[in-house]
Amino acid sequence: MEIMAQRYVRVQSPDGHIYYGVLQISMNVQVLDAPPWLGGQPIDLNLEPDSYQILAPCSPSKIVAVGKNYADHAAEMGTPVPSEPLIFLKPPTSIVANEAEIRYPRTSQRVDYEGELALVIGDRAVNCTPEEAQTKIWGYTIANDVTARDLQQRDGQWTRAKGFDTFCPLGPWIVRELNPGARLQTFLNEDSKPVQSGCIDEMVFPPDFLVSYISQVMTLLPGDVVLTGTPLGVGPLNIGDRVRVEIEGIGRLENTVAAR
Ligand code: MG
């Protein structure tokens, strides 16, 4: 039997307190006194499943995302693979938790899912080599880089298309280890056939290279998030859809699409 990886969560109790913790098999949360990447230690507080709401597993100062980092996705967009990582920002206000709603903007007629592996930075990263960058990656979670494709094409840059509130589902938890060949799949509604299915080792620029590259541009802070790009198969979401991104060894991130 496979031993389940330790799952690090961020939760809110009914009185509004936000806690970092470890999700136990019982679904109780063992609370930590700080984010685990800052050395948080267990305290004498254990939350039962009906006494917390799951939040996105970190609260980054920024989300740095990477475009066209899988060759088959670059091809489906009709563009070549970039010769160096193509980076852009999503605002932290775009983050929503597992099971939260993605709200469809009134100004778009074409909103796409993009299932992605997310890296969580554990330590300040400035001008890192790829070797140093690997040590700055504290763990891994799942993201959906939701994109208003029509606005992305119209604007010529991506701030509006990628930046709407609710356009970055993230979670449900962080794991520290990941199989380098883990499969990433995206599913829509009840369909058992994935709309996206790729292996994370098919990335053009791997995680250590991405973190190194970004750290030459901007300081990455503990809790920051790097989205590593999406594989082949992006496509539209409609109001009422359920979208689920799964990564082997992490879990599943599931959200519904609602009118704004
Ligand atoms: Mg993307």
**pLDDT tens digits for 133-159?**
999 999 999 999 999 999 999 999 999
- CA 234 – ligand 1 centroid, Å: 9
- CA 70 – ligand 1 centroid, Å: 10
- CA 62 – ligand 1 centroid, Å: 15
Ranges assigned E (strand) in the chain? 7-12, 18-23, 29-32, 42-47, 53-54, 63-67, 86-90, 95-96, 101-104, 111-113, 115-121, 137-144, 147-148, 168-175, 183-188, 196-199, 225-227, 235-237, 242-247, 251-259
Give the CA distances from residue 74 to residues 1, 54, 191, 197, in Å, rounded to whole numbers and listed in that order: 38, 34, 25, 15
Distance from the Cα of residue 146 to its chain's centroid: 11
- Beta bridge partners of residue 111, listed in sequence order: 148, 237
Nearest to 227 by CA among 138, 161, 136, 145: 145
| % of the chain at pLDDT higher than 90 | 93
Do residues 10 and 56 lie in contact, with contact meaning Cβ atoms separated by under 8 Å? yes
In this prediction, residue 260 carries a pLDDT of 86
Class of CATH domain 63-259: alpha beta
- CA 84 – ligand 1 centroid, Å: 16
Which tens digit of pLDDT belongs to each residue from 54-92?
999 999 999 999 999 999 988 888 988 899 999 999 999
pLDDT higher than 70, residue 3: no
**Is 193 strand, coil or helix?**
coil
In this prediction, residue 4 carries a pLDDT of 73
Please, which residues have CB within 8 angstroms of residue 153's CB and are 6 or more apart in sequence? none
- CA 67 – ligand 1 centroid, Å: 5
In this prediction, residue 227 carries a pLDDT of 98
| % of the chain at pLDDT higher than 70 | 99
- CA 239 – ligand 1 centroid, Å: 20
- CA 229 – ligand 1 centroid, Å: 5
The stretch 242-260 carries a mean pLDDT of 97
The stretch 115-128 carries a mean pLDDT of 98
Topology annotation, domain 7-54: SH3 type barrels. (2.30.30)
pLDDT higher than 50, residue 1: no
Please, which residues have CB within 8 angstroms of residue 206's CB and are 6 or more apart in sequence? none
- CA 114 – ligand 1 centroid, Å: 6
Task: Give the whole-angstrom CA distance, residue 54 versus residue 100.
Answer: 10
The label of the residue with tokens 């109780």 reads: 28
Which tens digit of pLDDT belongs to each residue from 168-221?
999 999 999 999 999 999 999 999 999 999 999 999 999 999 999 999 999 999
- CA 38 – ligand 1 centroid, Å: 28
- CA 15 – ligand 1 centroid, Å: 35
Buried b (16+ CB within 10 A) or exposed e, 16-25: eeebbbbbee
Do residues 69 and 229 lie in contact, with contact meaning Cβ atoms separated by under 8 Å? yes
Report domain extents, the chain: 7-54, 63-259
pLDDT higher than 60, residue 2: no
> How big is the chain, counted in residues?
260
**Is 175 strand, coil or helix?**
strand
- CA 167 – ligand 1 centroid, Å: 11
